[in-house]
Structure 1
Amino acid sequence: MAKTHQVGVAMDFSPTSKLALRWAIDNLINKNDHIIMINVQPLSADHTRKELFEDNGSPLVPLEELREINFTKQYGIARDSEVIDILENASKTKGARAMAKVYWGDPREKLCSAVEDLHLDSLVVGSRGLGPIKRVLLGSVSKHVVANASCPVTVVKGMQPSKSRN
């Protein structure tokens, strides 16, 4: 019997993180694997579940609960029908089990913690494509995670807008 893999995908609901989710499903997910959408909320977020789960993150939330409006209110994350559709499709077509986990804090640190906490075999993150100056000022989440996570990390770059030539 094949080993079940735990694949995490950092999700901030940006186009690049959705691209990373699609990439993970297309390239890493097989039958019975677990795909875990990982969302990191800022410490300043004030939601009903933060008090309970601030230190270690929320419990794993199954796909069925992600569809519910209550979930988005309790955890303060976007109810994104595109992401839910992507996860449902992976569940149906690949036989994967989709779920989510919410953390609060610095995304760089929390994503590295999630690797250990969730026993991830692989983590996929999107690249915001910051220029060199913004990267120095804001820090690169993907660069930090690649350097510090204890599992393989794939960085999916977003589509570059095409430049028109005159």
Structure 2
Amino acid sequence: METRMGESSSNGIMKVMVAIDESDTSFYALRWTLEHVLNHLHRQGTTLTDPDEAVGESTAMVTIVHAQQPFQPFVYPAGPVVYPSTTVIEAVTKAQNENTASLLTRALHMCKERMVKAETLILKGDPKEAICQTADDLHVDLLVVGSRGLSSLKRAFLGSVSDYCAHHVHCPILIVRPPKETKK
């Protein structure tokens, strides 16, 4: 069964998942999705006046996800393995949680400005795998990720979340590239 833009394969509400991280490109992808994809869906549906009452009226539900890399509590210097203290591990974990909360708050604020109902999820693990697994588990109709525009050489060595997701997720994916900056 083919699903076109604005149609949903389940209960009439299109499930859109947007993955964000600290980069401006991921927030550009969220903004682009809110302006283009969801505006299109809302023009087909009803106008919303209160994002808290959007479920049941809206034609789309947005799930914003952020994947936290697991903290590697050991270091391999030239010599023996060095383990950080419990205080260091707790400090890193606290900083990760505060960073995640800040990112998700910023994303929810963007959705609220557009009168779009959104929920958030914090994923644990390798972002590439966690995003694909969650998209499959939630049966989303569309996954949206930003593209940092890595060269093919960097993508080969570093890997790319968007490239990995494009090859491994089982739903349509939209990779949003930011516009090229104009040189003066």
Q: What TM-score comes out, normalization by structure 2 length?
A: 0.65
Instruction: Provide closer, same or farther for how the CA distance between residues 115 and 75 of structure 1 changes in structure 2, counting only shifts above 3 A.
Output: farther
Q: Any stretches of 5+ residues in structure 1 without a counterpart?
A: 51-71
Whether 1:44 and 2:71 are equivalent positions in the alignment is yes
CA contact (8 A) 1:9 1:123 kept: yes
Distance 2:183 2:157 in 1: 26
Distance 1:83 1:161 in 2: 23
SS of the residue corresponding to residue 124 of structure 1 reads strand
C-alpha displacement of 1:76:
4.7
Q: Please point out which of 102, 106, 117 is paired with 1:97.
A: 117
* Residue in structure 1 matched with residue 138 of structure 2 by the alignment: 118
Distance 1:120 1:128 in 2: 23
Whether 1:26 and 2:35 are equivalent positions in the alignment is yes
Q: Report which stretch shifted further, 74-83 or 33-42.
A: 74-83
Instruction: Provide closer, same or farther for how the CA distance between residues 5 and 18 of structure 1 changes in structure 2, counting only shifts above 3 A.
Output: same
Q: What TM-score comes out, normalization by structure 1 length?
A: 0.72
Distance 2:149 2:156 in 1: 12
C-alpha displacement of 1:87:
1.4
> Which ranges of 4 or more aligned residues in structure 1 deviate by more than 6 Å?
none
SS of the residue corresponding to residue 85 of structure 1 reads helix
C-alpha displacement of 1:112:
0.7
Instruction: Provide closer, same or farther for how the CA distance between residues 151 and 133 of structure 1 changes in structure 2, counting only shifts above 3 A.
Output: same
How do 1:7-156 and structure 2 match up within 5 A?
Answer: 7-29=16-38, 30=42, 31-44=58-71, 74=97, 76-80=99-103, 82-90=106-114, 92=115, 96-156=116-176
Q: Any stretches of 5+ residues in structure 2 without a counterpart?
A: 1-10, 43-57, 73-88
* Residue in structure 2 matched with residue 6 of structure 1 by the alignment: 15
C-alpha displacement of 1:82:
4.2
Letter in structure 2 aligned against 1:83: A
CA contact (8 A) 2:68 2:96 kept: no
Instruction: Provide closer, same or farther for how the CA distance between residues 158 and 78 of structure 1 changes in structure 2, counting only shifts above 3 A.
Output: farther
Instruction: Provide closer, same or farther for how the CA distance between residues 76 and 19 of structure 1 changes in structure 2, counting only shifts above 3 A.
Output: closer
* Residue in structure 2 matched with residue 159 of structure 1 by the alignment: 179
Which of structures 1 and 2 has the bigger CA Rg?
2
Letter in structure 2 aligned against 1:43: P
Aligned residues: 138
Fraction of identical pairs, as percent: 31
1:4-54 deviations in whole A, cap 9, x for unaligned? 11100010031111111012112322324211111001011867xx9xxxx
